[in-house]
Chains A and B, each alone.
Chain A
Amino acid sequence: MSRAFPFIRPPRDVVRVGPWSRAVADGVEELPRELPDWDYETVLSLRRPVQVDGLRARRSSGLPDDAELDLTVRWGSSTCALRGRAWRAPVPPRDGAEIGIEFDLDGDQLGGVLELDTVLTLRRATDGASPAAARRPGSVLWNDRFSVLLQGDAVLFPLAIADFQDLPYPTGAGWFLEIGHDLEAAALGSILLLANERRKVVVDALAAAGSPSEADERVLSALRTDVQRALIEHALAHEDFSDDVEYPGGSLGALLAAVLRTTFPAFGVEGLRRERNADPILFTARIHDATDLLASS
């Protein structure tokens, strides 16, 4: 969604950003869109090269050459709905200034989708600015967002191993997906995959999800398809779920909408409800097809 800014902003190309990257054990790698191995104890060491035309940014914003500008990175976490400043540096008044963004981000505030906003802001206006120029400190002159899905482990959700004898589910079921009903609640706090410790083949496959054998891969494929089926069924059976609603980022509603979009890009929610009711067996087969059930990798 575009915002109307009540002040002049410079052209997009006054800031040129390189890719985000992260430090790993044997060097640096480009930051992927998903971090399957992330957990609360992970510290992300992030970097990004940036080139700013500091003088052009000022002049094309109607600001005098001695106005003070900052480049800031803001982090935001969908699960906790928290955000904060990760990094900030002043932008010198010259073109082609190279600025290296570099900071560590502790995992204890994060979860779900991590948003990294790179923002060029006014720190302090000085005399001689155009009447149409930004005046308020913090005014956003340029910004850019990068999102990373954290906690994307083999099955995407928090997992618990339990004895189904103790739970109200069939004792011999391999797994059960617990899903909340509040569509605006954080997805990762609303979904829990329970695996039955009585089904060793399932527990072993989940334990080996990082480097599965062929047999494990078959179990995981069945599990993934069934989890996706459960989410789709949950969305379609939930009377308040609709594709007219924009659910908050990282919420259960947003996740269900994303699963439906990815699995059935050509259908709306009502169309899918009709399809499922008219021919539930064919509908299930469509999910098998869309999720590549048991397709060899």
Chain B
Amino acid sequence: MTSVLYPRLLDHAARELHREYMDSTLEELQGRAAFHHRAAVFAATGGRRVTVDELQDLRERIVRAAEYAGYPGEGRRADRANFDLEVAKLLHQRSGLVAAEAAVRSIWAFLALVLLPDVSYWRYPRPPADRVMGTDITRHVWGRLWWRAHLLALPREADRYRLLDVFGEAAFDQIFARRRSLGGSRALVRALAETWPTIDRGGVNDRQLLRDVLKRLLRTSAVVEFEALDDDELRRQVAEAAAESVAVLAESEPLAGRRHAQDDA
């Protein structure tokens, strides 16, 4: 696959733009959207440079998705969650990024601060720097969505993004934050997403349950090679870890603590 290369916005420019945009109105930010920036450069790595037409197309699609979610108005929380899912698909399907290029934080700074400043600051009003600068891709307004789609996509299936909405934002963050230990295995993340809706929670809080399942899988990964397993066996082991977690948590958790069983996962 030929990678499409995106401009990398240099740090000093990203910092300056963020400082300026924190006090800008949405109308002002709409006027600042652009397809290039003097301090944005292309790396001389394999691939071809994104064209202005492609950037324009990406911007138009994301703005349209934002409008469905209420942009430029505030919109409802549920609409923003749907907007995130829509954009995750859009970015993954249409940006032409490969994983190595998507790990470069300065391309995400370009998207947030040059191509889409209005939508970025609409999605996260007055955001902390890492939401737009890409200092932490797991928190970046657009970068985290591309990675969510990448880890959960099923390339061989017709509905390749059907697992995208299994986890809520906070739950997926728990997985993505463990990218170097567990979350970097697409097979394991997909098995977890396939299994998650079928787990009998027994009233246990979702967030706690996921944290405990991830802990168990991490422990197991020291002596078991998940990549060697077939999909059905992998799902069986995830379900087994989840059942153990439910048994232990249900035992230790007082009933009163189970009220938020369906809260944020």
Contact = CB atoms under 8 A, between A and B. Distances in A.
A188 B105 CA distance: 10
Interface of A: 3, 5-7, 39-42, 70, 72, 74, 76-77, 79-85, 88, 106-112, 117, 119, 121, 123, 136-140, 143, 151, 158-162, 166-168, 178, 180, 182, 185-186, 188-190, 192, 194, 248
Contacts of A106: 1
Contact of B100 (A80, A121, A140, A180): A80
A6 B223 CA distance: 8
A176 to B, nearest CB: 9
7 contacts: A74-B227, A112-B100, A137-B233, A140-B223, A160-B41, A167-B38, A178-B10
Interface residues of B, number: 45
B3 A80 contact: no
Contacts, number: 154
A-side interface mostly: mixed
B9 to A, nearest CB: 11
Nearest to A82: B184
Interface string B183-204: 1111100000000000000000
A256 B164 CA distance: 37
Nearest to B226: A138
A38 B87 CA distance: 31
A88 B228 contact: yes
Nearest to A136: B224
Contacts of A72: 225, 227-228
Given A40-B101, A185-B135, 17 more contacts: A42-B46, A80-B99, A80-B184, A109-B98, A119-B225, A121-B224, A137-B237, A138-B225, A158-B44, A160-B43, A167-B38, A168-B12, A185-B136, A188-B100, A188-B104, A190-B105, A194-B10
B39 interface: yes
A206 B30 CA distance: 39
B3 A161 contact: no
Find the residue from B47, B100, B184, B222 having the highest chain A CB count within 10 A.
B100
A83 B103 CA distance: 14
- The 5 closest A-B CB pairs, nearest first, are A39-B46, A111-B100, A108-B98, A160-B41, A158-B43
Interface in B147-163: none
A189 B47 contact: no
B47 A41 contact: yes
A104 to B, nearest CB: 13
B124 interface: no
Contacts of B244: none
Interface in B69-117: 98-106
Interface string B1-25: 1110000101110000000000000
Contact of A192 (B8, B46, B180, B233): B8
B31 to A, nearest CB: 21
Contacts of A139: 223-224
Given A137-B229, A186-B103, A84 B46 contact: no
Contacts of B39: 166-168
